[in-house]
Structure 1
């Protein structure tokens, strides 16, 4: 298995960092797990931002996974290049979550664009 495939697995579980922060730092913490979505909708501050980071991470993961698969299937890119792009993407997602939690909106948006550029890069190196 390649490093890039391991990065896909990491990307699948990465949103749960946001989940843990959102549920663990909420005003009262998640005491009743019967309706966690309602609980998450009522959060404020860093817990609310953690939930937003979680949701964005869930949204971008399929695109990343597809890009890694396309790069492998196309077979035109060097494996080292694919692996480096994958590690850079995971790094960008970690930075994105940190920026979201810290409420650094402009930097967060820049990091998001970098991550999307990295996803596109998988396609460009596969040509």
Structure 2
């Protein structure tokens, strides 16, 4: 398995991790006490505030960024790009996404946007390597 493939797996798991963070405060509590409602998870998440709401937004954005990353890896593979270059860009994407999520949780909007741009730049670069 290449580093890029491991990064793809990591990128696929990032939104799930964000969802777990968003729901974590509600785990172990009864619904009537504000606990997570698995019968209506989207409604429950929509009522959250603060870092939980930001974690849920990071989850949505992680799902939105994923297809661009997958497409970039696919095109780089079609162009038979050097694996070391693809691996480096994939690592850059995952690093940018991890930092992005951390900054989202910390409510650092400007820096978060900068990291979003860096992550997208790695995806666009994947289209042009090879």
TM-score between the two structures when normalised by the length of structure 2: 0.90
List aligned pairs for 1:56-95, cutoff 5 A.
56-75=61-80, 77-95=81-99
Match of 1:28 in 2: 34
Structure 1 segments (4+ residues) deviating >6 Å = none
Contact 2:79 2:129 survives alignment (8 Å) = no
Distance in structure 2 (CA, Å) of the matches to 1:28 and 1:111: 33
Indicate the larger mover: 43-52 or 64-73: 64-73
Residues of 2 paired with 1:88 and 1:50: CA distance?
A: 21
Deviation per residue, 1:66-111 (Å, 9 max, x gap): 1011101111x21100001101100000000000000000000000
Structure 2 residues without counterparts, runs of 5 or longer: 27-32
Separation in 1, partners of 2:6, 2:73: 11
Structure 1, gaps ≥5 residues long: none
RMSD: 1.3
For the Cα contact (< 8 Å) 1:25–1:46, is it kept in 2?
no
Partner SS, residue 72 of structure 2: helix
Does structure 1 residue 112 correspond to structure 2 residue 116? yes
Deviations 1:48-82 (A, max 9, x none): 0000000000011011011011101111x211000
Q: Secondary structure at the match of 1:14?
A: helix
User: C-alpha distance in 2, partners of 1:85/1:109?
Assistant: 19
With normalisation by structure 1, the TM-score equals 0.92
